[in-house]
Amino acid sequence: MTFRQLPPDLVATLRETVSLGVITGAGVSAESGIQTYRGQGGLYDDEAEGDRTVEALSAPTLAADPDRTWGVVAHLARQTIQAKPNPAHQALVAMEATLERFILLTQNVDGLHRLAGTRNMIDIHGDVLETRCSSCAFHGDLSVEDLQALTGTPRCPQCACGLRPHVVLFGEMLPEAKIRRLHEEFYERPPEVVLIAGTSAIFPYIAEPVLLAAQAGHPTIEVNPEPTPLSDRVRWSLRGKAGEIFPQIAAALASRA
């Protein structure tokens, strides 16, 4: 359906909701002006250029030519550090404040949910503004000054080995601790309602919590400008921007009787 206002049966459901699981993808970041590096609205119209970017952001390239990986990471990080949370990020903070239980799973690596103030979240792919040492336990943040000075691979301030971006690169495993939290939050004690937005959910670990909720008869909501493979699996598929629809969802949750 084309979005105008929330369907009355959805509003009625939200007014009785006490726990919510939310999943966000690149579309939510795009509303803050962050381009994705491939796919619709991606950084590169040219598909071969997109493929080269994905290759640069892969585990084998990091091992063989870390400067090449860092070249692309620095570009993404510079774009990220200038971005600001949008009404979708802010509405999620309001939802968390209203509900007894709230969990956010995000694929986005821009840190905008954290910057907006979301507390209980799993940034499954990491954060492009964080770094870690490939040898010692050092973990740090990239500042504007770091990014301006960055050419090639930054060095660890503790042991001088090469730092790596604190993101999951193509070909790398997801971090075990985050997978465990995802299971605890979405599988072991599933939220009453699951909301997914701004993603075509191509990764199974992103789609599965929604499908699981739908199969269990829990209310499921999708917010996306375009239809996705999940659109006919969820109870409400709303066509539109998260920045326009999330504030209305937050308002309905806050009107809880």
Residue ranges binding Zn ion (CB under 5 A): 133, 135-136, 138, 156, 158-159, 161
Give the helix/strand (H/E) hosting 129: strand 126-133
Three-state DSSP class for residue 140: strand
Query: Got the DSSP string for 146-161?
Result: HHHH--SPPBPTTT-P
Instruction: Pick between residue 62 and residue 234 the one whose CB is nearest to Zn ion.
Output: 62
CB of 153 to Zn ion, least distance (A): 12
CB of 154 to Zn ion, least distance (A): 11
Closest CA to 87 of 43, 45, 32: 32
CB of 62 to Zn ion, least distance (A): 16
- Catalytic sites, residue numbers: 125
Instruction: Pick between residue 12 and residue 136 the one whose CB is nearest to Zn ion.
Output: 136
Instruction: Pick between residue 157 and residue 229 the one whose CB is nearest to Zn ion.
Output: 157
Q: In the chain, where does DSSP find H-type helix?
A: 8-14, 26-30, 47-56, 59-64, 66-81, 87-98, 112-116, 144-149, 176-183, 204-215, 242-254
Instruction: Pick between residue 97 and residue 159 the one whose CB is nearest to Zn ion.
Output: 159
Residue corresponding to tokens 């375009």? 226
CB of 70 to Zn ion, least distance (A): 16
Which residues have CB under 8 Å from 204's CB, separation 6+?
A: none
